[in-house]
Amino acid sequence: MPYLFLSTLLLALSGIAQAEDAEIAHLFGKAGVEGTLVIESAATGQRYVHNEARAKQPFTAASTFKVLNTLIALEEGAIAGADEVIAWDGTHYEIEDWNRDQTLKSAFKVSCVWCYQWLARRVGAQAYPSHVRQADYGELREPFNDTEFWLDGSLIVSAEQQVAFLRRVVERSLPYRAGSYDTLRAIMQVDSTPAYRLYAKTGWATRSTPGIGWYVGYVELEENIWLFALNIDTRGATDLPLRQQIVLEALRAKALLPPL
Query: Which amino acid, residue 93?
Result: Y
CA 62 to mean position of chain CA atoms:
10
Task: Please give the DSSP secondary-structure letter assigned to residue 172.
Answer: T
Q: How many CB atoms lie within 10 A of CB 225?
A: 19
Between CA 11 and CA 183 the distance in angstroms is: 39
Rounded Cα distance between 86 and 100, Å, is 9
What is the rounded distance in angstroms from the CA atom of residue 28 to the CA atom of residue 134? 33
Q: Convert 82-106 into a string of H (helix), E (strand) and C (coil).
A: CCCEECCCCCCCCCHHHCCCEEHHH
On the CB side of 136, how many CA atoms lie within 13 Å of its CA?
14
Catalytic residue among 14, 63, 173, 192: 63
Active site residue 63: yes
The DSSP letter of residue 138 is: S
Return the bridge partners of 216, or none: 201, 229
Task: Give the residue numbers marked as catalytic.
Answer: 63
